[in-house]
Amino acid sequence: MKKWSFLLLFSFVALQAFANDGYKLWLQYYSINNSSYREIFSSVYIEGESSTIDAIKDELARASKGMFDEDVVESSDEGANLRIQLYDQGLRDVIPEDEMNSLSEQGFFIKEINYNGASQVLITAKSQIGLLYGTFRFLQKIQKNEKLPTYGFKDAPTIEHRILNHWDNLDRTVERGYSGFSIWNWHRLPRHIDQQYIDYARANASVGINGTVLTNVNANSLILTPEYLEKVAALAEVFRPYGIKVYLTARFSSPIELGKLETADPLDPEVKKWWADKVEEIYDYIPDFGGFLVKADSEGQPGPHNYKRTQAEGANLLADALKPYNGIVMWRAFVYSEESPEDRAKQAYNEFKPLDGQFRDNVIVQVKNGAIDFQPREPFHSLFGGLEKTPLMMEFQITQEYLGHDTHLAFLAPMYEEILQTDTHAKGEGSTVSKIVSGQLFNHSLSAIAGVSNIGSDRNWTGHHFHQANWFAFGRLAWNPEEKSSNIADDWIKLTFSSNEEFVRPVKDVMLASHEMVVNYMTPLGLHHIMAWDHHYGPGPWVTGKHREDWNSTYYHQASEYGIGFDRTAEGSDALKQYHPELEKQWSDPETTPEKFLLWFHHLPWDYTLENGEILWDGLAKRYQEGVDEARSNVEVWRSLEGFIDAERYEHVLSFLKIQAEEAEWWKNACLLYFQQYSQKPIPEGVEKPEKDLEYYKSIDPKFVPGI
């Protein structure tokens, strides 16, 4: 072999070793050194046969190959190092029945036991899906090099339905999607099943996600036609072994569009029959179909209002059709009217509060975390605690519509945690949003949580490698809404990159502070909805004159020579009235309002004094600067970590962090110059003066921003 070709071959091999495109997500199964765990895979007993058992075997094989370069050897139950089986009488001696009874169907128990004199690790559960979840958790422990606690380890989800919402259109564009096209290749389905569908199911199951709404809330009724149902059925078949149900968005006017009826009135007998027949047809294709997600009477979507009917009458129509098959309706509360001059933050509450108790028992109302629209930070939606008789599910946005799209690192677990842990006071102290979502507070047996997906056809699924962490975090919090962000970050980093503490520590710090950083350089102190028009990428505090008041930034920030902020007290829109009196009182006074929500609830003069004695204008400017400083420092932190991970992901992340630092500056300069026109105050010391003038920042107009 000539010297140069040898060199070429060598560098190719080296490149392979260091190349990692991130496709494997947190299921990397990278090589580790741990002889006792290596041993585990040399004799494994797995009881039973089913497609879920096959999925378990497949996962064990991948893990063993990746972490130890060994194949799994199956053995009999006796002498097995790892034993995976459903709980039965025979296991009563090692795990008492009442221990198992305390676990729900999908829970699992992992324990090191003594079986006929030999020690073995037992993974047991009441269902095969429980076994799958237990297997994933065990493999994660191995990858993180963690020991099993001697008393064993058990876990079970507290929320029943843990669902991703894809805003994917049938032409494969993704509304508010920034990482390529939809992964559902409708054109090739049902004949071609892409490996990516299987890997999608594996990733979801590994964090306990058990449902997926395949289509956009701005729905296309075509998805309910036989041609598409056949395709949906093919996906459902791939997901079934992984315990994932499929759901579809139902366009309220489908009886007209598909059924050629003259009306979609929910009280019309023909309409009822049309939906009953349609649902029967769907279940013929997909026997375990989960149900419908519906956006009605909002942003141009048809709904019961078209027929002067209520949201409850609309939801119940579909609920009755689904009931015989145990299907559910997730009816969105994101309803606001084109005509109403009412503060948008109040409209959903006004609409749904009088309907409490009128929904069928298989309806759950899906409420966004905040009442405006997935802003970088919002106070929790007043419907949480507002409705008692109706089960409510949380809708978080994982895709970063208002948080810098794919290029800005924002780890969202702290934002989700902040909302989930907020006390609504609905039934006294401790009435957290998490307890409402899990159904505990008002004793609802139906419980669910949804996350609007950030997944697309990009090779690494989510654009920014770090945004995989938001998909992961959603799953973890859906499984256990009391989970801590720092645990989630820790696990994700170790599973995705490395367990080396010198890498984990700084990366975790960056992640945990990143949401606050983005809030600081975009919308500090409770500002909201001041993004660029329509695509929402970049600053746009000057957006005004749109055909609806509440689509203008100027409506939300209300900046004038007097001051800034949206007055939601009794003197203003009185949105505060919708919260529990305890919170209403606290938040009505700017002095007792948490500063993070100050301008959300109050319109204040530019020289209002903040907690630290600074005036509002200075405090605002400094927060913008803090955000910029942190974005810049993240680039340096990341640079200091070169060599800890593969070059491919290192470089990719580095280039995104640089974009973020540049754009944080864009945000700061644009917003400060714009607001300065009103405050008429100098840029305070410690805050960098913008290099260009406001006109320059206003003229930046990125073309063809994806996701609209």
* Residues near ligand BDP (CB under 6 A): 175-176, 217-218, 295, 299, 334, 373-374, 401
* Distance of alpha carbon 72 from alpha carbon 74, whole angstroms: 6
Residue 432 — φ and ψ, nearest 5°? -70, 160
Task: List strands edge to edge, sheet with 82-86.
Answer: 44-46, 82-86, 118-125, 108-115, 153-155
Alpha helix stretches (DSSP H) within 171-268: 195-206, 226-239, 254-257
* Distance of alpha carbon 31 from alpha carbon 365, whole angstroms: 45
Of residues 188, 212, 360, 361, the one with CA closest to residue 289: 212
CB of 374 to ligand BDP, least distance (A): 5
* Distance of alpha carbon 99 from alpha carbon 345, whole angstroms: 45
The amino acid that residue 415 corresponds to is M
* Distance of alpha carbon 12 from alpha carbon 16, whole angstroms: 6
Q: Is 373 a catalytic residue?
A: yes
Cβ nearer to ligand BDP, comparing 300 with 341: 300
CB of 401 to ligand BDP, least distance (A): 6
Cβ nearer to ligand BDP, comparing 374 with 556: 374
Asked whether the beta carbons of 149 and 370 are under 8 A apart, the reply is no
CB of 393 to ligand BDP, least distance (A): 14
Cβ nearer to ligand BDP, comparing 134 with 302: 302
Look up residue 229 and give its two tokens.
Answer: 């149902």
Cβ nearer to ligand BDP, comparing 27 with 519: 519
- Of the listed 168, 401, 626, 663, which one is catalytic? 401
CA atoms in the 13 A half-sphere facing the CB of 701: 5
Residue 195 — φ and ψ, nearest 5°? -55, -30
- Of the listed 74, 299, 534, 589, which one is catalytic? 299
Residue 183 — φ and ψ, nearest 5°? -75, -10
How many residues are given for the chain? 708
Cβ nearer to ligand BDP, comparing 373 with 618: 373
Look up residue 579 and give its two tokens.
Answer: 């919260």
- Burial class, 432, CB count within 10 angstroms (exposed 0-12 / middle 13-18 / buried 19+): buried
- Of the listed 373, 491, 567, 646, which one is catalytic? 373
Q: Where are the beta strands (DSSP E) in 173-282?
A: 211-213, 245-249
CB of 45 to ligand BDP, least distance (A): 48
CB of 613 to ligand BDP, least distance (A): 37
CB of 371 to ligand BDP, least distance (A): 12
Helix 51-68 / helix 195-206 crossing angle, nearest 10 deg: 90
Cβ nearer to ligand BDP, comparing 63 with 296: 296
The amino acid that residue 676 corresponds to is Q
Of residues 87, 83, 122, the one with CA closest to residue 106: 87
Cβ nearer to ligand BDP, comparing 435 with 536: 536
Cβ nearer to ligand BDP, comparing 13 with 708: 708
CB of 572 to ligand BDP, least distance (A): 23
Look up residue 66 and give its two tokens.
Answer: 């990746």
Give 628-633's long-range contacts (Cβ < 8 A, gap of 24+).
628/521, 628/661, 628/664, 628/665, 628/668, 628/688, 630/513, 630/517, 630/520, 631/517, 631/521, 631/657, 631/660, 631/661, 631/664, 631/665, 632/661, 632/664
Task: Using CB positions, name the residue nearest to ligand BDP.
Answer: 373
Residue 70 CB: number of other CB atoms within 10 A? 15
CB of 216 to ligand BDP, least distance (A): 8
Cβ nearer to ligand BDP, comparing 124 with 169: 169
CB of 214 to ligand BDP, least distance (A): 16
Asked whether the beta carbons of 100 and 60 are under 8 A apart, the reply is no
CB of 436 to ligand BDP, least distance (A): 20
CB of 394 to ligand BDP, least distance (A): 13
Residue 42 — φ and ψ, nearest 5°? -80, -10
Cβ nearer to ligand BDP, comparing 343 with 629: 343
**How many angstroms separate the Cα of 329 from the Cα of each of 295, 402, 442, 570, 624?**
11, 27, 19, 35, 42
Considering only CA atoms, give the Rg of the chain. 26
Cβ nearer to ligand BDP, comparing 143 with 216: 216
Residues carrying an active site annotation: 299, 373, 401
